[in-house]
Amino acid sequence: MEINFEQLRPIGLTQSIANQLYTLKDPLPDGARLMRITEVQRDWFGLGDGPLEHRARALHKLLHDLQEYGDTLTVGDWVLVEGNAGGELWITARLPPVTQIARRANDGRRQPLASNVDTALLVMGLDDDFNPRRMERYIAMVRASGVVPVVVLTKRDIGRDVQQRVEQLRHRLPPDIAIVAVNGLSDDAAEQLRPWLSQGQTLVLLGSSGAGKSTLTNTLLQEDVQSTGGVRKGDGRGRHTTTARSLHQSPAGACIVDTPGLRTWRADADAEALAATFDDIETFASRCQFRDCRHESEPGCAVRAQVSEDRLLNYHKLLRDAQRGQQTPMERMAQRRKWKALGKAGSARARDKRG
């Protein structure tokens, strides 16, 4: 199979991605072409081959096989595409992603957000959207996926206590995390983010509704490709203006994936991988009196003595979410029955005491 690197490199093809062709079980069919998914709709997919955009459908067998492993096609995937006698294009295979950011639904199902991503721009507004604990969780989940996180604080021009909030994050987050405060409507935003916008790089914007992702996307692309909207006056939450993930190429050369707002984001990583992203906690844990210290109420805990209570609570919450995400449906049902029985027993004891 011939690959036109000169044509595909601008939309993110790398040698490590191309090497994934050797991992496919079936032989490469004659006439197959390598393309990248740029948009996912219910019945069709947008594809890019460099200079042109195409539409295609996916073979039912491919979708079924991916579903068997809790996976599906998503924006950023590299796929093999074949044409039929009627001129229709069909996706027949997917290259295993080099990186993939995903989340777990409430029922434990895995939902990919974007594939083959180099950098995640974690967008948070400097208005009522500002939430350091949420940002801390976002960073942990992105790093556990093997993707570089960059914190982008939007609405610098209208936010409250801008400098204090930026310094609060610098003090709280690991020192190797880049933090950039921007006005998403200003061309300066593209200049501030230029180090991550070089040709062939793929970025995904992640954040809650109303954080300014679509506004920033339009600024980076220098055209209005996404609708934008305001936020509610009561709580600062945004309305869903972006309803589907899509990949676009910026004038600077990078591919940018915009995504709908995240209401919730449950980790798609095991507890061990997530724990490793809290570098400070891992370092201090080696100094705890007990090797199996859980950093809760044990004596001689070095972590509680050095790490803020809020950060430690966030750490425990993230690990609990990860453990729940790895449970099977039967395990979740058993856990619910256990807590229901404990609740009934507690109520019975209370009634006995009251006579």
Residue 256: DSSP 8-state = E
Calpha distance 166→181 (Å, rounded): 8
Calpha distance 60→62 (Å, rounded): 5
Q: H-helix or E-strand containing 138?
A: helix 132-144
Instruction: Report pLDDT for 31.
Output: 86
The answer to whether residue 183 is domain-embedded is yes
Q: What is the CATH number of the domain that holds 30?
A: 2.40.50.140
Residue 27: DSSP 8-state = P
Note whether 284 and 227 are same-domain residues. Answer: no
DSSP count for the chain of H helices, then E strands: 12, 14
Q: What are phi and psi of 350, to 5 degrees?
A: -65, -40
What tokens appear for 184 in the block?
A: 């998403």
3-state helix, strand, coil in the chain (%, to 5): 35, 20, 45
Note whether 123 and 46 are same-domain residues. Answer: no
Domain hosting 83: range is 5-94
What predicted TM-score, i.e. pTM, was given to this entire model? 0.80
Note whether 122 and 249 are same-domain residues. Answer: yes
Cα three-residue angle 246-259-43, rounded to 5 degrees: 50
Note whether 81 and 109 are same-domain residues. Answer: no
Q: Which single residue is written with the structure tokens 């604080």?
A: 153
The answer to whether residue 352 is domain-embedded is no
Note whether 162 and 193 are same-domain residues. Answer: yes
Whether residue 319 contacts residue 136, with contact meaning beta carbons closer than 8 Å, is answered with no
Q: What is the CATH number of the domain that holds 151?
A: 3.40.50.300
For the chain, the domain total comes to 3
Calpha distance 151→149 (Å, rounded): 7
Note whether 251 and 276 are same-domain residues. Answer: no
Strand 110-115: give its sheet, edge to edge: 110-115, 100-104, 266-267
Q: How many CA atoms lie within 13 A of 215 on its CB side?
A: 24
Name the region of 30 (left: φ>0; alpha: ψ -120 to 50; beta: rest).
Answer: beta
Whether residue 236 contacts residue 145, with contact meaning beta carbons closer than 8 Å, is answered with no
Note whether 282 and 233 are same-domain residues. Answer: no
Instruction: Report pLDDT for 306.
Output: 84
Note whether 143 and 287 are same-domain residues. Answer: no
Note whether 206 and 287 are same-domain residues. Answer: no
The answer to whether residue 300 is domain-embedded is yes
Residue 193: DSSP 8-state = T
Tally of CB atoms within 10 A around 285:
18
Calpha distance 47→35 (Å, rounded): 6
Q: H-helix or E-strand containing 93?
A: strand 89-94
Note whether 314 and 290 are same-domain residues. Answer: yes
Note whether 107 and 217 are same-domain residues. Answer: yes
pLDDT block averages, 10 residues each, the chain of length 355: 89 94 86 94 92 94 91 96 91 96 78 94 93 89 92 92 92 90 92 94 92 91 66 45 76 92 72 74 84 84 85 82 64 69 79 76
Instruction: Report pLDDT for 335.
Output: 64
Residue type for 166, please? Answer: V
Q: H-helix or E-strand containing 249?
A: strand 246-249
The answer to whether residue 82 is domain-embedded is yes
Instruction: Report pLDDT for 231.
Output: 46
The answer to whether residue 14 is domain-embedded is yes
The answer to whether residue 113 is domain-embedded is yes
Instruction: Report pLDDT for 194.
Output: 94
The answer to whether residue 254 is domain-embedded is yes
Burial letters for 203-222: b for 16+ Cβ neighbours within 10 Å, e otherwise? bbbbbbbbbbbbbbbbbbbe
Note whether 33 and 137 are same-domain residues. Answer: no
Instruction: Report pLDDT for 355.
Output: 66
Tally of CB atoms within 10 A around 158:
12
The answer to whether residue 120 is domain-embedded is yes
